[in-house]
Each structure stands twice: as structure tokens, then as C-alpha cells.
Chain A
Amino acid sequence: MSPAPSGEAIRAHDLTRTFGEFMAVDHITFDVKPGEVFGFLGANGAGKTTAIRMLTGLLAPSGGEASVAGHDVATESEAIKQDIGYMSQRFSLYDDLTVRENIRLYGGIYDLTPSELRDRTRRILDRLGLARAERTLVRAIPLGWKQKLALSVALLHEPKVVFLDEPTSGVDPVTRRQFWELIYEAAHAGTTVLVTTHYMDEAEYCDRISIMVSGRIEAMGAPAELKKQAGVASIDELFVRLARPSAESTRGAA
């Protein structure tokens, strides 16, 4: 797979979104380089989900601008969808279809050629060890496998950028790490990964992270640097320090 062209994979400048009087996303500016693993952190209600919806072309921005994989999110939202993958916490797989059928469905949706589909299906099944389960309904396979499969399907059409929304929620510690190895492999192959998570140790796996509080980005950078600057030993502590003042505010939260 050829590396992505130079320049940012994701670019946001003063990106804003309001709902009536409520400002969910407040002029955020950040960028993600191709092949980076970027952790997008924030408390519930901080604006992460809204920001991601804008970046994936699902929601129009109220102000500012952003581009993903070279496409402007406001004007080229359809083009974006071809170049990105998305995996949400609530799976994107159909429970009543088999493993193989799910892969084939998404292959069709993204217009893979039959030989591409064949090769990639084989590759996924082997890599995840799902060869025995290819005709099993997805509802019958263990949670950890579902997650890994959902990630693989999001990467099936080899998108430039993939968005992962709390992908490892509830999964056992070993599987979580296996999942992150899949992420690393994808990143090494040139895919840009933007991931949100509530597991603070996973924040450390990222190349860079941003922490959103009340719609704004309050910290951004490599985890090690952020910790050094703030004088804390873990991202968890940094998070608490940044987010706690807003827990008492009436804005959105509570």
C-alpha cells in the first residue's frame, strides 16, 4: 500500500459546532499526520463525539474548517466517506450475518474487486485466527473477536484515515492489547488512526493525544511530553487535573 501523500491526514482549524445556544465544539485546532496514532480524549459531554461526527462528514460544522484525507468536511463530505473507515463502540457488524458475509457486504459497499475481496478476506481471517469461524454468525463469536473483526472490516478498503470510537470497551486485557497491535500494524502501513478511549493507559499507546474539556482542546502533544510539562506521572492524573474544574460547572455537564 503506498504511503499517504505528505501533508496532514486530518486538519482542523477553529472548528466549531453549536446546537442552538449550546457550543458543543468551541474553535478547536489540531492536525494529525499520516500514519499517526492520535488519541482523542475527553470527558463525556466534552464534545468528542460531535467533533468526530464533523470529521467523518456526518455533521456540518457551524464555523471554522477541517479536512480529512485532503477533502474538506463541509463541501466534500461524500468524498470523505470513501477514504475513511469508522468503527464505533456499538459494532458496525450485523449480528445475524456470518463473519464471511459481513466482510463480503462491506467489500461490496466499498466496491472492492472480487480478487481484492478474496485476498483481503483470507488475510483477515488468518490474521485474526477466525478461519474456523468464518461461517459462524457474528452474534455467536466472543466479544474480543467481534471487536477485532469490526476493526478489520473498517480497514477493509484500506482507507487513509480510520476513526475508532471506544473500540476496546469491556474487552479483556489481553484482547485489548492484541487490538492495539492491529492498530499499530495499520499505522505502520500508513493508515492514520484517530481513537477515543476511556482507558487512560491506552492514551499512552498513542503518538500524540488531545484532551477536550467543555468543547475546547486543553492539552495536545505526545503523552510523555505532556506528563513532563504538567509534572504528573500518568495521563490519568493529567486528565483529572484538566477536567475536574469543569465538573462543577453547569455547562452541559450534569
Chain B
Amino acid sequence: MNALWGLLRKETYHILRDRRTLAVLIFMPIVQVILFGFSIRTDVRDVRLAIVDPSPDAATLAIRDRFNASGVFRTVAVAARSADLDALFQMDTVQVAVEFEPDFGRRLASGQPARILVTSDATEPNSGTARQFYVDAVIQGYEAGLPRGPGAVRIVPQARSRFNPTRESTNLFVPGLMAMVLMIIAALMTALSITREKETGTMETLLVSPLRPWQIIVGKVAPYLGIGFVSVLAVLGVARMVFNVPMRGSLTLLLAEGTLFILVALALGILVSARTSSQRVAMLGALMGTMLPTQMLSGFIFPIESMPTALQWVTYVVPARWFVAIARGIMLKGIGITYLWRETAVLVAMTLLLLVASAKSFKVRLQ
């Protein structure tokens, strides 16, 4: 029994005296709970609304006012015709569109069915029943205020989901999953490669040579780019063949963007490992720096617009956020570079920034 107590005591000492691991064990859960708490919001708010109202009248205007006053919707565009909505959806400017039938008010007044077509961008997780519920609520609220006539259903809301008519949830999640998997693998690869050299001592020999930091970094990143590309293909293949996620846009573009994203992740891995010489720490750092933000802040599970504003700003620096938008856009919306140039530019800028930062922080000496 002596021996057992002795061992228990020793293990306790080890735990208490390893401050760094202790800090992680205690603070990590706290940070996670806070982040999760703020990002898991399924409340619907700040939904961007487009209106198509060919013949505005008192009824349509009243309903439009109700939408604006609901606190849930925000009219961002008024389109003349239904066809104009395409671009708005593709650019992600609007999430819901409400189209009134021509002569809406007159038809209502004369007891004929008056139709409202509600279209929702179904590439996002929150596009489901929650939004629909609010739309119905607004419309019913108006209906309730009307003098009731004999029997006719006055307003016929027609719901349609754009881009994802059957509302497959895999279509929603898989692009984001791709981003997460690629990011983790790529960042881990470079982080481990560099720290492995430091741990085995070969880094010491490399340093006492004419090799410059940028050469070492490129030497580390380039081969993994090849493997990364294969990962992109593999993940895409699974998405298509196992989950039947549609591929409505250009495959070439998606592969190119995927490779760009891998580059960002590789550079991030280098940055993580520039500061540490332990493989274990590098692995933890790579996982914390990639998996956590990607899961929670890229918008692939928890919608970004539901998060507190401060957290929304944070998502701008999460590379996966941009790639998820790109992947969804290409695969589900079928849009091209003309609509995605902004996101692409952000990824390019991130890559350059991270590569330069890692070259700068790469220690040219041992200390």
C-alpha cells in the first residue's frame, strides 16, 4: 500500500509542478465554454431581406413595414423583378426574399387568393424552420388584422429554398467539414515537421549551413502542398460520392481555392512551430489554433450573424470562414470568381502575411 500512496503522491506533484499543462487544463475548459456559449445561438436575428414588389400598394407596404418592425428582418434590397434576386443571393447580400404577386392589394380586397413567394437561401444551417416560422408569423400577424371575409385563405405564402431545395443538411455541413479537416491536417503537417527536426537535433545542423530561413520554410511547405492537394481531392471525392453534395460550379476553381486554403494552413503550422521546439506543444498549438476556431467561428455549424458583434469581428480572421463561404458558393450556388474575388483575395493576403510572419519569426539561432 505504501507503494501505491507513494505513486499517487508523486503523480500529484508532477501535475502540480507542470505549470504550463496545468494552465491549459484549467483554462481551456473555461475558454471553450465561453466561446461555445456565445457562438451557439440559434436565435434568428438580423436576417437580410429582399423585397420584390411589382405593384406596391397599401397592403404590400403594410406587410413590408411589419417585416422591418419585426426586429428579425432587415430589408437590404428592393428588386424590381424576380430575376434580379439571383445576383443578390449569389453575392450573399440577401438571405430571404419576399415576392408579392402583381396587384396584391386588389386581389386581397376582392377576396381572391393573394400570393407571397418566400424564398430562402438554404445553404446555411439556420435556413430551416426557424426563419420560416418568423416569416409566417409576420404574415399571419397582418392577416389577423384584416376584416375576415367568408372563408377564403387570403394570403398564400409559398416557401422555396434556393440552392438546396431538398434542404439536405449534409450540403450545409460538408463544405465546412472539408475546411476543418484540411486546415487541421495541413497545419499539423508543417508544425510537426519543424519541431521534429528541432527535437531530433537535425535542426542544429541545418542552421549551421548557408540555408536561409525562407529556403527552409519553402522547403517544408512545398512538398506538403502536393500532399495537401491530394487531401483536397480525397475530401471532395467523399463529399460528392458518399454524401452527394452537388457540384454546381467550377471544379477547377474549387481545387484552386482548396489549394490556396491549404497554403494558409501550412503557413499557420509554420508560425506555430517557429516558437516552440517540442512536438507535443506544436501539436497542441496547431490543434487549438485551427480546430477550435474552425469549428466554432467559421459559420459552418453556428451561424455568424447570430453571434455577438464582437465575435463576428473575430471571425474575419478565421481563414476557414472565408473558405467555407467559397466552398458553399461554388458547390451549392454555382457561382464563380466574379462573386468570390473578395474571399479569395482575403485568403491570398492571409497566406502572404503568414508566410512573411513565419519567415520573420523563424529563429536563425538556437536561442
Contact = CB atoms under 8 A, between A and B. Distances in A.
Contacts of A97: 10, 13-14
B177 to A, nearest CB: 41
Contacts of B6: 104-109
Contact of B2 (A94, A101, A108): A108
B3 A96 contact: no
Contacts of A110: 3
B20 interface: no
A111 interface: yes
Interface string B1-20: 01101110110011001100
A112 B2 CA distance: 8
A157 to B, nearest CB: 11
A37 B157 CA distance: 97
Contacts, number: 33
Interface residues of B, number: 11
B10 A105 contact: yes
Interface in A89-123: 94, 96-97, 101, 104-112
A116 to B, nearest CB: 11
B2 A96 contact: no
B1 to A, nearest CB: 9
Given A108-B2, A109-B3, A111-B3, A96 B18 contact: yes
A53 B9 CA distance: 29
B15 to A, nearest CB: 10
Nearest to B15: A96
Contacts of B2: 107-109, 111-112
A109 B18 CA distance: 23
Contacts of B14: 94, 96-97
A35 B292 CA distance: 61
A38 B5 CA distance: 36
Most A CB atoms within 10 A — which of B5, B7, B10, B18?
Answer: B10
Contacts of B9: 101, 105
Given A96-B14, A97-B13, A111-B3, 12 more contacts: A96-B17, A97-B10, A97-B14, A101-B9, A101-B13, A104-B6, A105-B10, A108-B5, A108-B6, A109-B7, A111-B2, A112-B2
Interface of A: 94, 96-97, 101, 104-112
